[in-house]
Structure 1
Amino acid sequence: MRIALIAHHVAPLRPPFVGGVESFTWYLARWLAGRGHRVRLYAPPGTEVPGVDVRPLRLDAGLSDAARQDVSMPPGRFMDAHHAYLETVMELAASTEHDVVHSNTLHYLPIALGSLVGTPMVTTLHTPPTPWLESALRAAVRCGSPPALVAVSRATRDAWRSVTGPVPVVHNGVDTAAWRPGPGGGGAVWCGRIVPEKAPHLAIDACRRAGVPLRLAGPIIDRAYWDREIAPRVGIDAEHVGHLDHDALQAELGRARVAVVSPAWDEPFGLVAAEAMACGTPVAGFARGGLVRLVGRHGGRLVAPGDVPALARAIDAAAALDRAAVRRHVERTASLDVMGRAYERLYAATIGSGAAAVRPPAPVEDLAAHRVRRGRAVRPLPVTAT
């Protein structure tokens, strides 16, 4: 197939990744190219993906001084992203080079203008509803041109249901060849963007309560949050090791006895948890969003959101799980191959239908998710006095 992928505009797609959307798009593009598909990727300058034709997003509106001085001028970064996606969609609308377009941006314009593109188009919902994207989707549905959508988890699908109705689910996947099993036996590790919604301060508190040293890995995105909540907590048993490249992060996850995830929001999927489990490292965390189904009964132990004492107990319970079984759980449910093949089928269904909103020919929902009954994916630990 001839596939055009549209990436999010915030950061270049190259390791180490700023976030899960960038990692997802990079791995999917590389996997599709490796399968022999012709892939063109519209992405921020600096993006590098082996075997993929990268077209840099033009993140410079190039406005005249007169336009910039107008009283209606919005922030420059907003206009730059607006221009980049406007130009990309107009280029795709004028092109017959692709069989399918797959949008992975959180920007509203590819949805708002998607009906102008003659090529069949698929959009992945990577997050819960955001104002701009929800507005575009509501308008598309009301105007009779609903896009073909897929969600990264049941939790994300359910969050969008009032706007989109039911949509298929394809879980994100991790490259199990790149995320290799490690020996474990060390302390705990927390990975991700250091921002309030990821709440690493709660991970520090839980690990300290459990008596397990913690290593924090990830970029400091919100400096005020760092100064307020993280800096006062770091010490000999809680260390920030920086924003690591793939090899260093893989080594950290492989050495850890447990990976801690502490979201203060409903994680759309939980890619960090999947990467940890691919290294054989069980997960202890809060049962929020996509993590519930991703981790399940076999990948770790999840507890009620925000319950730090319960998370401390979950750290000990998860560390006792069999690492080989944790690895097998990811291979079976959230590998890159499982995800990629599901998207191949979804592309084929979209191309074959000729319609905007399609359903895949096979139950994509369960290809990348372990089959467990709703309500059985999490085993909260009993709450006891501490």
Structure 2
Amino acid sequence: MTVSVKTLKLLFVSTPVGPLGSGIGGGVELTLYNIAQEMIRRSHQLQIVAPVGSTWNDLPLVQIPGNLQIIAQTQERTAPVTMPENSLLANMWDYARQVQGDYDLIVNFAYDWLPFYLAPFFDCAIAHLVSMGSLNNPLDQIIKQVAKQFPRTIGFHTQAQAATFALEQQYPLLSNGIDVSLYDFCSKPKQQLAWVGRIAPEKGLEDAVAASQITNVPLKIMGKIQDDLYWQKINRDYPNAPLEYLGFLSTNQMQEVLRQCRALLMTPHWVEAFGNVAIESLACGVPVISYRRGGPSEIIQDGKTGFLVEPDSVAGLIAAIARLDKIDRYACRQQAETEFSLKALGDRFENWFYKILDI
């Protein structure tokens, strides 16, 4: 059991790609929200620096204006570092610089070059939670520099994610967590499947749709449409798939649908850093069928809380769907409660913060 040795003053600096609550930030938004809630519950003092338009009225926000940053997934690996005029990212970090003396630790949630570059110029220690695998050469380089100069300050979710950066230094693996009490267990699902996430090419939604069309099992799709042309192409290519798009839903609305599904399909075409939706699914008692790639491969207990199949194999997804009766849905819920609760999440992050500060 972790015993808090010091109450910390924490400044969380959000992702600059969209307002908190918009869904544009993907899993980073849920991660930030859950860590913030747990740190406050543990009596740490917390402020979140976020884009104007953020809707998290239950958390202490400082809203900063400026133009949003381009999403990293849409850029080429060799793309140069860029920022728009009146950059929101720069404005957020200028604010952090001005108030840094009021805090013990700044926590960076942005997957972007600037916060890493700025680390040596701050007097306040900065913890960097890296939210994706390696995507961009300039960012890879600056992450390696910071990891070497400031050991322990670079945190990852999973080993699979961290391995994409090929760091020489030791680094913390922090996994993730959710408020399991917000997810209702369902022992008797309907004959339907779920897919949840940003609708963008790297998420591989078309494979789940293909599996749905071939098996004729309805697929409930939930998430932000980030690439409209990609979504339109899926609908053209699979006109007979029994799919239903439900939009970007709140946690409560999403889990009401998800818990009634026989399984969640995860079909990433890239190295997923973690996969928050996997643990949300397990919390509902819903097994996860995922490609054996990235974060989900370290979450799912193959054959017990879901199935890991060959990456990019629709046939593998279909074979796993046929075996779902072998999964005990209670085991799924139990894994979520044991490994991915807010307490487990808080213990990991609190320990990381203390180690950075040598407390």
Bucket of the pairwise TM-score, normalised by the shorter protein:
0.7 to 0.9
Is residue 193 of structure 1 aligned with residue 201 of structure 2?
no
C-alpha distance in 1 between matches for 2:41 and 2:19: 21
Task: Give the number of equivalent residue pairs.
Answer: 337
Q: Closer, same or farther in 2 for the Cα pair 1:344/1:307, shift >3 Å?
A: same
Q: Closer, same or farther in 2 for the Cα pair 1:331/1:141, shift >3 Å?
A: closer
Q: TM-score under structure 2 normalisation?
A: 0.86
Equivalent residue for 2:65, pick from 55, 58, 63: 58
C-alpha distance in 1 between matches for 2:236 and 2:254: 21
- What do the CA deviations read for 1:179-205 (whole angstroms, capped 9, x no partner)? 221244211011111111111110011
- Alignment map for 1:68-83 (pairs within 5 Å): 77=84, 79-83=86-90
Residue 13 of structure 1 contacts residue 23 of structure 1 at CA under 8 Å; is this kept in 2? no
C-alpha distance in 2 between matches for 1:349 and 1:309: 46
Instruction: Give unmatched runs, 5+ long, in structure 1.
Output: 62-73, 354-386
Q: Closer, same or farther in 2 for the Cα pair 1:166/1:78, shift >3 Å?
A: farther
SS of the aligned residue for 2:101 comes to: coil
Residue 128 of structure 2 contacts residue 153 of structure 2 at CA under 8 Å; is this kept in 1? yes
| Paired amino acid for 1:117 | F
C-alpha distance in 2 between matches for 1:77 and 1:180: 43
Is residue 28 of structure 1 aligned with residue 38 of structure 2?
no
C-alpha distance in 2 between matches for 1:275 and 1:106: 23
C-alpha distance in 1 between matches for 2:242 and 2:59: 43
C-alpha distance in 1 between matches for 2:332 and 2:93: 44
Equivalent residue for 1:263, pick from 258, 263, 268: 268
1:146: how far off? 5.3
Equivalent residue for 2:321, pick from 271, 294, 315: 315
| Paired amino acid for 2:333 | R
Q: Closer, same or farther in 2 for the Cα pair 1:228/1:49, shift >3 Å?
A: closer
- What do the CA deviations read for 1:151-199 (whole angstroms, capped 9, x no partner)? 1111111112x24533110101121011221244211011111111111
| Paired amino acid for 1:178 | L
Is residue 348 of structure 1 aligned with residue 354 of structure 2?
yes
Point out the more displaced range, 13-22 or 25-34.
13-22
C-alpha distance in 1 between matches for 2:351 and 2:82: 40
C-alpha distance in 2 between matches for 1:300 and 1:230: 27
| Paired amino acid for 1:175 | D
Q: Closer, same or farther in 2 for the Cα pair 1:16/1:225, shift >3 Å?
A: closer
Is residue 286 of structure 1 aligned with residue 291 of structure 2?
yes
1:60: how far off? 4.8
Instruction: Percent identity, please.
Output: 24
C-alpha distance in 2 between matches for 1:219 and 1:341: 31
SS of the aligned residue for 1:255 comes to: coil
Residue 89 of structure 1 contacts residue 117 of structure 1 at CA under 8 Å; is this kept in 2? no
C-alpha distance in 1 between matches for 2:330 and 2:253: 21
Equivalent residue for 2:172, pick from 163, 168, 171: 168
Q: Closer, same or farther in 2 for the Cα pair 1:147/1:137, shift >3 Å?
A: farther
Residue 89 of structure 1 contacts residue 113 of structure 1 at CA under 8 Å; is this kept in 2? no
C-alpha distance in 2 between matches for 1:56 and 1:319: 48
Point out the more displaced range, 261-270 or 111-120.
111-120
SS of the aligned residue for 1:190 comes to: strand
Q: TM-score under structure 1 normalisation?
A: 0.81
Instruction: Give unmatched runs, 5+ long, in structure 2.
Output: 1-7, 69-80
Equivalent residue for 1:118, pick from 123, 134, 151: 123
1:214: how far off? 1.0
Residue 201 of structure 1 contacts residue 230 of structure 1 at CA under 8 Å; is this kept in 2? no
Equivalent residue for 1:12, pick from 19, 25, 29: 19
Match of 2:108 in 1: 103
SS of the aligned residue for 1:9 comes to: coil
Residue 286 of structure 1 contacts residue 305 of structure 1 at CA under 8 Å; is this kept in 2? yes
Q: How large is the Cα RMSD of the aligned pairs?
A: 2.3
Match of 2:337 in 1: 331
1:90: how far off? 2.3
1:141: how far off? 5.4
Match of 1:91 in 2: 98
C-alpha distance in 1 between matches for 2:65 and 2:265: 38
Point out the more displaced range, 18-27 or 227-236.
227-236
Larger-gyration structure (1/2)? 1
Q: Closer, same or farther in 2 for the Cα pair 1:50/1:346, shift >3 Å?
A: farther
- Alignment map for 1:128-147 (pairs within 5 Å): 128-131=133-136, 132-140=138-146, 144-145=149-150
